[in-house]
Amino acid sequence: MNSYIYLDHAATSPMNGQVIEAMTTAMQQVFGNASSIHGAGREARKYLDNARELLAKSIGAQAGEIIFTSGGTEADNTAILGTVYARANEGKHIITTQVEHHAVLHTCEKLERDGFEVTYLPVDQLGRVAVEDVQEALREDTILVTIMYGNNEVGTIQPIAEIGELLREHHATFHTDAVQAYGLEKIDVNQLQVDLLSVSAHKINGPKGVGFLYQKTGTPLASFALGGAQEKKRRAGTENIPAIIGFATAVQVANKLREEKRSLYNHFKQIMLEVFTQEKLAFHVNGEEKHSLPHVLNISFKGMEVESFLVNLDMAGICVSSGSACTAGSIDPSHVLVAMFGQGAEELRNSIRFSFGQDLTENDIRDAAEKTAQIVKKLAT
Ligand code: PMP
């Protein structure tokens, strides 16, 4: 038994028992290199192909459209750099939003230094980007639009299918980072009309260090991991087969439990909000309440300083992230909240992200909410 209540599943999640079993068996029995032509290689390839098939199916794609990566970061980097290197002679303009994960933002910033022009679209106070803003930003020389599916800090879901529809009329490649949404939202690449989509295993009770990039057949993508011919020469290097098998297992489990989890996590959100209301705390829920990822609850508590808040929560055995979840040091102002509320807003200093996952009970949530309320009462100025 853990001595803490883990409410940081959007940062990473514990591995599911079936995932551990599948990986253990794979590590004991499948050691060949999938690129070898002999029996051991063929056996490894069979496992790899099977996992690829399952993962492709989970998003309505073909097996050949899946490129395995070391996770969401590499998938995002590959999508963005791969597109612009393949299409640089067609234009130098990229569209993204101000609230993307740093795997996207830092990659775009690097491209700006390399002579590309990037439009960072604003969001409203709920963290939503407007389809009309995407439309207005589109130019003849726009070669890539990269907009996340669901936000990792506040959970807001973007209108990806509508943007996909808009881009049918435009030649730009459309990428979405679905790292947080995959496994909780039903994702179909054909319905969304995306060309590239990033996913990571460790957010859905799979292993760390593995993910994939979906590349719609025919989408131009330069390879920058050069070497062997793995992943149809799109990403060189021996695949981590046990992790990929674990990933495919995690997806099977996640898909079976998706609806159950969605309603459970929404229930958890309600419990937390009920407790905070009963305790008469002054708080604000950041992000969309209805059209948002079910596992993310980002709240600003009035009068709190996030540094001491996090330390006190940790001492009380509650694991959460600050609202600026993935920002270095985790206590810098969140670029997502800055985009939503503007520099200097009080929400920036006192936001906490609770995120839910497998094995949590209603008691855990109530317990965590009550302990959080006591800390707020003690520390709020
Ligand atoms: N994109 C989003 C939206 C994420 O939440 C994360 C993980 N924090 C990543 C990309 C990076 O994924 P990984 O940790 O697998 O590199």
pTM over 0.90: yes
Regarding whether 134 and 181 lie in a shared domain, the answer is yes
User: Rounded mean pLDDT of 80-103?
Assistant: 97
Whether pLDDT at 173 is above 60: yes
Regarding whether 180 and 62 lie in a shared domain, the answer is yes
Regarding whether 221 and 283 lie in a shared domain, the answer is no
- pLDDT, tens digit, 9 for 90 and up, residues 233-263: 999 999 999 999 999 999 999 999 999 999 9
The rounded Å distance from CA 15 to ligand 1 centre is 16
Cβ-contact 6, 292 below 8 angstroms: no
Q: Residue 289: what pLDDT? A: 82
Q: Which of 284, 364, 62, 286 is nearest to 190 (CA)?
A: 62
Percent of the chain with pLDDT over 90: 91
Regarding whether 263 and 246 lie in a shared domain, the answer is no
113 pLDDT tier (thresholds 50, 70, 90): very high
Regarding whether 237 and 278 lie in a shared domain, the answer is no
- Pair type for strands 173-177 and 142-146: parallel
**Does 100 fall in a domain?**
yes
Residue 202 alpha carbon, nearest atom of ligand 1: 15
Q: Residue 324: what pLDDT? A: 63
Cβ-contact 182, 209 below 8 angstroms: no
Which residues sit with their C-beta closer than 6 Å to ligand 1?
71-73, 76, 101, 103, 148, 152, 177, 179-180, 200, 202, 211, 326
User: Rounded mean pLDDT of 85-92?
Assistant: 96
Q: Show which of 211, 231, 252 is a domain's final residue.
A: 252
Pocket test for ligand 1, best of 200, 293, 321 (most atoms within 8 A of CB): 200
Regarding whether 264 and 216 lie in a shared domain, the answer is no
Round to whole Å and give the CA distance between 243 and 39.
Answer: 21
Regarding whether 220 and 314 lie in a shared domain, the answer is no
The rounded Å distance from CA 73 to ligand 1 centre is 6
Residue nearest to atom 5 of ligand 1 (CA): 152
381 pLDDT tier (thresholds 50, 70, 90): confident
Cβ-contact 68, 77 below 8 angstroms: no
- Name residue, tokens 């459209």: 65
Regarding whether 221 and 206 lie in a shared domain, the answer is yes
Q: Show which of 194, 225, 252 is a domain's final residue.
A: 252
Question: Among 154-158, 328-332, 334-338, 377-381, whose mean pLDDT is lowest?
Answer: 328-332
Regarding whether 344 and 313 lie in a shared domain, the answer is yes
Regarding whether 130 and 43 lie in a shared domain, the answer is yes
Whether pLDDT at 325 is above 90: no
Calculate Rg over the CA atoms of the chain.
21
**Does 381 fall in a domain?**
no
Domain containing residue 44: CATH number? 3.40.640.10
Whether pLDDT at 1 is above 60: no
Number of domains in the chain: 2
- pLDDT, tens digit, 9 for 90 and up, residues 17-55: 999 999 999 999 999 999 999 999 999 999 999 999 999
Pocket test for ligand 1, best of 12, 74, 101 (most atoms within 8 A of CB): 101
328 pLDDT tier (thresholds 50, 70, 90): very low
- pLDDT, tens digit, 9 for 90 and up, residues 195-240: 999 999 999 999 999 999 999 999 999 998 899 999 999 999 999 9
Q: If DSSP states are collapsed to H, E and C, what string results for 313-376?
A: HHHCCEECEECCCCCCCCCCCCHHHHHHHCCCCHHHHCEEEEECCCCCCHHHHHHHHHHHHHHH
Strand partners, 214: 66, 197
* SS3 (DSSP) at 301: strand
Round to whole Å and give the CA distance between 96 and 73.
Answer: 16
H/E run at residue 28: helix 17-29
Structural domain of 154: 17-252
User: Rounded mean pLDDT of 305-326?
Assistant: 87
Instruction: Please give the positions annotated as active site.
Output: 326
Regarding whether 219 and 159 lie in a shared domain, the answer is yes
- Tell me the backbone φ, ψ of residue 27, rounded to 5 degrees: -65, -30
Round to whole Å and give the CA distance between 155 and 288.
Answer: 7
Domain containing residue 307: CATH number? 3.90.1150.10
- pLDDT, tens digit, 9 for 90 and up, residues 276-289: 999 999 999 999 88
Round to whole Å and give the CA distance between 23 and 242.
Answer: 5
Cβ-contact 146, 177 below 8 angstroms: yes
Q: Show which of 230, 252, 274 is a domain's final residue.
A: 252
Largest CA distance in the chain: 69
**Does 137 fall in a domain?**
yes
Round to whole Å and give the CA distance between 340 and 333.
Answer: 12
Residue 152 alpha carbon, nearest atom of ligand 1: 5
Mean pLDDT (the chain) is: 95
Regarding whether 114 and 262 lie in a shared domain, the answer is no
**Does 350 fall in a domain?**
yes
Round to whole Å and give the CA distance between 381 and 372.
Answer: 15
348 pLDDT tier (thresholds 50, 70, 90): confident
Q: Residue 349: what pLDDT? A: 76
